[in-house]
Structure 1
């Protein structure tokens, strides 16, 4: 009888340890998904701020008409792009980065800086917004990598601890700040 109880307690102990491990792993995965949602929301906010800063500069009267039109068009397209991240959103953000690079040449940036405090403020806002987009995208992609690494574990797959949550993907677009803004 004592041998039976020993086996029973040993089996119960193993089951409790397995249950604890699965609960801990599920909670960790949930925390990673919450972090992922937070980084995505932060990235969305930074993208909107960058587009708004570009639109403010385009509408400030500090740029020539053609440059302002290019910049305003790309910024408006970015603001009007679908809220969910996908190919359309990434294309709009890449086009805004390209428009910034095209519009903000060295002579244009020098002219805007020399125009006074308003120009300097507009360029500083835009530079800050571009830097924050780069950081937010990097943080989001790091969070995606962490979630994907954890979800590849066999215990997550076998016990379906991720439920029906789709596998996250990194967000890829050109987020380079024009070199002239750093000057």
Structure 2
């Protein structure tokens, strides 16, 4: 009779471990989605600040790049943000208050991108674990991706 209790205890322990693993995968993917949403919001704020800077300094090429970054689809976001960053690096002679606002927003973008990439790294590491792959515990979540853009050197 004691072996029945031992088998039930082992099965319950294994089931608890797999439930914990599945919940961890869910939490990490939810954090990755939230980090991407935060990064996207900061990128929109930076593009809006770039539009304000372009209007204040009367820079039509920066205005065009900022508008493209504002309207970019998620698949084209990295390319548009890299183009905006290249245009931001060429800005000189802009009003100091608008430029300072853009610097603050760019710092937040850099921090949000770092947080997002850290969470993606953690989620991808969990997805590579053998038990996660064997039992396909991450199958309902899309694979998170790093967001790689150049950080503007405005400071």
- TM-score normalised over the length of structure 1: 0.80
Task: Report the Cα offset of residue 78 of structure 1.
Answer: 0.3
Cα distance in 2 for partners of 1:177, 1:95 equals 11
Task: Report the Cα offset of residue 80 of structure 1.
Answer: 1.1
Task: Report the Cα offset of residue 122 of structure 1.
Answer: 0.6
Task: Report the Cα offset of residue 163 of structure 1.
Answer: 2.6
1:142 is aligned, of 118, 131, 143, to 118
For 1:124, the equivalent position in structure 2 comes to: 100
Root-mean-square deviation (CA), in Å? 1.2
Deviations 1:72-101 (A, max 9, x none): 01100101110x2x3x21110000000001
The reply on whether 1:77 has 2:68 as its aligned counterpart is yes
Q: Which runs of 5+ in 1 are unaligned?
A: 113-118
Alignment of 1:1-183 (within 5 A): 5-60=1-56, 63=57, 65=58, 68-82=59-73, 84=74, 86=75, 88-102=76-90, 104-105=91-92, 108=93, 112=94, 119-174=95-150, 176-178=151-153, 181-182=154-155
Larger Cα-atom Rg: 1
Q: Which runs of 5+ in 2 are unaligned?
A: none
Number of residue pairs the alignment of both structures matches? 155
- TM-score normalised over the length of structure 2: 0.94
Q: Which runs of 4+ in 1 moved over 2 A?
A: none
Is the CA contact (8 Å cut-off) linking 2:29 and 2:144 kept in structure 1?
no
